[in-house]
Structures are given as C-alpha cells and as structure tokens.
Amino acid sequence: MHLPTRRVAVSTLLVLCVALASACGDGGEDDATTPAATSGQSPDGSSPTPTTSPTTSTSPSSPATSKGPVWTSFDGPLQRCGPQPPSVLDAPFDPVTLRDPSIGRIPAVRLGSGPVVVVLLHQTDGNGFCGWLPFMPAAADAGLTVLAVDLCGYGRATCRADTDGTFTDADQTDPVELALRYARTTLHAERVVVAGASMGGSVALMSAATLPGIAAAVDLSGPVEWTGMDVVRRGRALDVPVLLAMATSEGPEEAAGAQEIVANAPAGSRLLTPDEGHGYVLLTDDEGGVLPLARDVLDWILKTPGG
C-alpha cells in the first residue's frame, strides 16, 4: 500500500515496532498513576506530582531563516520532539506519564481544559506523540482538552506486552485504554473521542470497536487493510460515529475501504476526501499553520452527537 512521505521524519513504512523502544529516562515527566495501579502509587513507589509547563531553549534551530521565525526546542521532557515553530513553543503543554502495572509506562502530553477530551494517536514515527504538537494548540483553542500518547514500541513507551514478547496489533489499544481511564478519572471528561493519524487512525477505529467509553473516533489516513483492523469488520463493529479522511491519492482500494467503513458505521459518520496528503499533513503545514481540513475535524468533534 502506498503511503505518501511525511514532511518531517515520519517513517514511510506502515509497520508496528514489536521490539521495545529504547529504554526510557526519567524525562522529567509527571507520574499519573491510574486507579488500577496498586496503593495509588506508581510501580516504582513514587507518588504523582504536578509539573510546571516546560520552558524552551534559546539555541536556534532549523528551519530558521532570515525570512522566517526561529524554531527552537523545548527544555525538559518535550525536548525529544526537536525544533518547533513559535505557535507550538508558546502553548502551555503539560507532560504526564500514565502508569499501570498490567499495561506499562505510557508518556503523554496534554493541553486545554474543555469537557471533551480527545486522545491523539500518532503515526509510525519513532518520536511518538511529538507529531501531534502543532495541531494541539488549535484543538485547545476550540475548547477541547487534547491528550497525545506514545503507542507501544514508539517514543518512550514501555509496554508489558513488548517486554514479555507477547505483543500483537491488538495490544496497541492498551495505551488507549489507559488514556481513557486517565481522561475520565483525572481530567473528568464528559466525553472522550479518539483520533489518530495513519497507523494511529487504525488504532482509533480498533479502540472504538473494542473499548467502552469512547463517544466517537477520527481516522486520518488509517490503512484499511492493517492487520489489526479485522476487529472493525469494515465498520460493522462500530457503534459510535466516526470521521474518516482518506485522500484520493492513497489509491482506489483505500478510498473504497474508507467509504465502506463510513457506510456501515452509525449515523453521523462522515468521510472527507482531500486530493492528497497523509496523516498529520492533512491538518497542519510545515510552519505549524492549521489547514482547512483540521477545522472540519474540530467542528465534527464538537458538533457530532455523542462526539
């Protein structure tokens, strides 16, 4: 299946990394222990503590030019995400770590304070949730709380299924389950929506078909034939509205598969068919600017019944 190239360091191969990503440092992130963890503490015995918003480094970095804004990197746990445009650096991101002994250690970052929480699932990018940072300020400005998480095998996630050698595609919904629990118990969400790009889009639909407590799902360019997608049964297993975006440049098979999923999904589902683009590219440009399709996605999340 053809996947257009992501503009910044996104893998062109749609595969899951079944081996454990490189060992996590402490990263300076908050520990947000979920209710399932024992004694209300993280597995290492430390209690969750609040974190202030990260500052940014002063060293200039690409793609700064004499004609454009200077991009710099965050200090602290978001430094791993590399240089960011000013629109991203100015946002008060809050890095957290979601922990549960039965799932693992899932780094995340949140922004916004609205009653609808959107869990963001990334593309096949070794840097995990970082690809969502340019979109998150626009979502927060729209009145949403957004929570981007690392999936198993990406970023700095440490998943039990990776370490014990039992990992399958279905285990990518484990970080989503942990994020849903955090959204309900800590963020006090009135509704939770899952949204994903490329691989993350497929995981969003898988999660909507298998996990309780999801009000709606958004899939941006998720491969229809990805191995874990059999649980969706071409949309027949979905009982919540879904929004799919599939560019015509992805090819006739992907376009037809997306149409079939939306046709079989509940009322309120919608298909967007831009001419080209894949995943994050549909939402933001190279300078972090928000594109029209991103506004369509935000509008659908806010207005769709149940979403």
At 269-288, the pLDDT tens digits run 999 999 999 999 999 998 88
CATH of the domain at 256: 3.40.50.1820
pLDDT at 177 over 60: yes
pLDDT per residue over 125-139, tens digit each?
889 999 999 999 999
Greatest CA separation for the chain = 54
Q: Tell whether 78 is covered by a domain.
A: yes
Distance CA(213)–CA(193), nearest Å, equals 9
Q: Tell whether 55 is covered by a domain.
A: no
The whole-number pLDDT of residue 271 equals 98
What's the mean pLDDT when you consider all of the chain? 83
For the chain, what is the radius of gyration of the CA atoms? 18
CB 23 within 8 A of CB 89: no
The whole-number pLDDT of residue 21 equals 37
The whole-number pLDDT of residue 67 equals 65
| Strands 116-121, 145-149: pairing kind | parallel
pLDDT at 306 over 90: no
Q: Tell whether 185 is covered by a domain.
A: yes
Which of 54-63, 132-141, 151-160 shows the lowest mean pLDDT across its residues?
54-63
pLDDT per residue over 94-110, tens digit each?
999 999 999 999 999 99
* Whole-model pTM over 0.85: no
CB 147 within 8 A of CB 213: no
Q: Which residue has the higher pLDDT, 89 or 6?
A: 89
Q: Tell whether 45 is covered by a domain.
A: no
Exposed e or buried b per residue across 226-257, where buried means at least 16 C-beta atoms within 10 angstroms of its C-beta: bebbeebeebebbebbbbbbbbeebeeebbeb
Residue 52 pLDDT class (50, 70, 90 cuts): very low
Residue 32 pLDDT class (50, 70, 90 cuts): low
Q: Tell whether 94 is covered by a domain.
A: yes
172 Cβ neighbours under 8 A, 6+ residues apart: 16, 151, 152, 203, 206, 228
**In one letter, which amino acid is 174?**
D
Q: Tell whether 237 is covered by a domain.
A: yes
The whole-number pLDDT of residue 69 equals 79
Residue 86 pLDDT class (50, 70, 90 cuts): very high
When pLDDT is averaged across residues 21-32 and rounded to a whole number, the result is 44
How many percent of the chain have pLDDT more than 70? 77
Query: How many domains would you assign to the chain?
Result: 1
Q: Which residue has the higher pLDDT, 15 or 166?
A: 166
Q: Tell whether 58 is covered by a domain.
A: no
Q: Tell whether 99 is covered by a domain.
A: yes
CB 154 within 8 A of CB 121: no
| Residue range(s) defining the domain that contains residue 97 | 30-39+69-303
